[in-house]
Amino acid sequence: MLKSIADFFVKCAKSDVVRKKIFITALLLVVFRFIAHVPVAGIDRTSLQQLFNGSPLLSLLDVFSGGTLANFSIMALGLNPYINASIILQLLGYVIPSIEELQEEGEYGQDKINQYTRFLTVPLAALQGMGAYLLLKGQGIIGTLGPVQLLAFILTLVAGTMFAVWLGELITEYGVTNGVSFLIFAGIISRLPVALGTSIGTITKTDLTKVGIFVVVALLIITLVVYVSEAVRRIPIKYARRNNGSSPIAQASYIPLQLNQAGVIPIIFAIALVSAPSLIAQFAGGIAHGAVSKFFTQLLVYMNPNTILYNVFYFLLVVGFTYFYTATVVFNPEKVTERLQRNGAFIPGKRPGMQTQKYLGYVVNRVTLAGAVFLGFIAILPSILQSTLQISNLVIGGTGVLIVVSVILEMVRDLQAQLSMKKYERFVAE
């Protein structure tokens, strides 16, 4: 295995195209990490760090911002508005026919969807910038700003978001793998050296057993994530074709159903919903009095991330959103059945139409159940490890592991595709 990995890196190093892509990606990554450390003026860093340590929602948003939100740099919002805009357009495609048609029009439709996503990112970034200001002001992290200063504050955050999106698109076009995913991946990885250094400095002899158990569990989790990310259920299909006007012949193919089709999107939805009561209680509890204040205080106790109620609710939300997102956005059995009929394809042993649709729905539900349970487990994994091993701060959470592994696998596949293209180009040239 090590020999094959070494051979893969040697092939990448020998390829001019791959070397160029890696160099461009590394250069853009340096620019991104440099801008990520340019701070917004007037922020109390100590209070900001305390706020993030006490809020799982903000910590997760920091993951998807590429690590820029915790520093509150000029790219503090990071890629969150862009991701939200992309999710909104995907969901709108389910209810607006014109957007659905664009989603099915290939490269042209995808370009238009990307354009609409960028347009929608701007107002979403402005709204999130205003929300960030109100949040920081309520916590005493930033002072009251005048109209001009507030406008400059919001425009700075919007410009930072669009600059991050632009870097991501440059990486997608000229570099390696999907640029937005890669920047999120880079933000997660950039925390590891500091986090590991801090953790190692506080380890005592009594903690060695816990550390050993944690390392073994971490390796098992990474192996599980790789296995689930690569697992595919293949549904065989055949295309009816005529050969020179003679009787029809069937060409075999298959529909690939990934075990985890929804990615980390259900976790984003679930963490936003499950953390909303805590955020509301945190703000309302400070201004309310009497019975109302007592209610919000009790709500904070029940919705603590370390409680069983919180984790059960969180797990169920992830499972529910996985089914919803898979059925509405990723794989709709009715639409897939229609496409099969239009293309003259059929599933062996199943009649075209309703019988095929019911079969696809049955298979998708079974596959989605396994993927939903896996995502739910990944979501509550940090709480499980913290309660069983008494580890206060994890270097990287379950969602972070899922993102890192997914991006690495996608990057390897992209590099392998580039190497294969170069081999075929040499064959054609000869």
Q: Are 117 and 89 in contact (CB under 8 A)?
A: yes
Q: How far is residue 309's CA from residue 302's CA, in Å, rounded to a whole number?
A: 7
- Per-residue pLDDT at 250: 54
Q: Which string of b and e fits 346-372 if b means at least 16 CB within 10 Å?
A: bbeebeeeeebbebbbebbeebbeebb
What is the pairing mode between strands 345-346 and 232-242?
A: antiparallel
- Per-residue pLDDT at 3: 64
What's the pTM value of the predicted model, to 2 decimals? 0.75
Backbone angles phi, psi at 237, to 5 degrees: -135, 160
- Per-residue pLDDT at 245: 55
Closest CA to 65 of 75, 52, 54, 79: 79
Q: How far is residue 185's CA from residue 396's CA, in Å, rounded to a whole number?
A: 12
Residues composing the chain: 430
- Per-residue pLDDT at 178: 81
Backbone angles phi, psi at 75, to 5 degrees: -110, 40
CB half-sphere exposure, 313, CA atoms < 13 A? 16
Complete edge-to-edge strand list for the sheet that includes strand 345-346 = 248-258, 232-242, 345-346
Q: Are 260 and 228 in contact (CB under 8 A)?
A: yes
Closest CA to 409 of 172, 222, 135, 218: 222
Closest CA to 273 of 93, 60, 49: 60
Amino acid at 415: L
∠ Cα 400 194 306 (to 5°): 50
- Per-residue pLDDT at 276: 66
Q: How far is residue 216's CA from residue 222's CA, in Å, rounded to a whole number?
A: 10
Closest CA to 300 of 277, 271, 270, 274: 277
- Per-residue pLDDT at 283: 58
**In this structure, is the dihedral angle defined by the CA atoms of residues 256, 260, 261 and 263, taken in order, positive or negative?**
negative
How does pLDDT run along the chain (430 residues), one tens digit per residue?
556 666 767 777 777 788 888 888 889 988 988 888 887 776 767 777 766 666 655 666 666 665 667 777 888 887 888 888 887 887 787 778 888 788 777 778 888 888 889 999 999 999 888 887 877 777 777 777 788 888 888 898 899 889 989 998 898 888 887 888 888 888 777 777 666 665 665 566 666 676 777 778 778 888 888 888 788 888 888 876 655 555 555 566 888 888 888 777 787 777 767 766 666 665 555 555 556 566 666 666 666 667 788 788 888 888 888 888 787 777 878 888 888 888 888 888 888 888 888 888 888 888 888 888 888 888 887 777 777 766 655 555 666 777 777 778 778 877 777 777 766 555 544 5
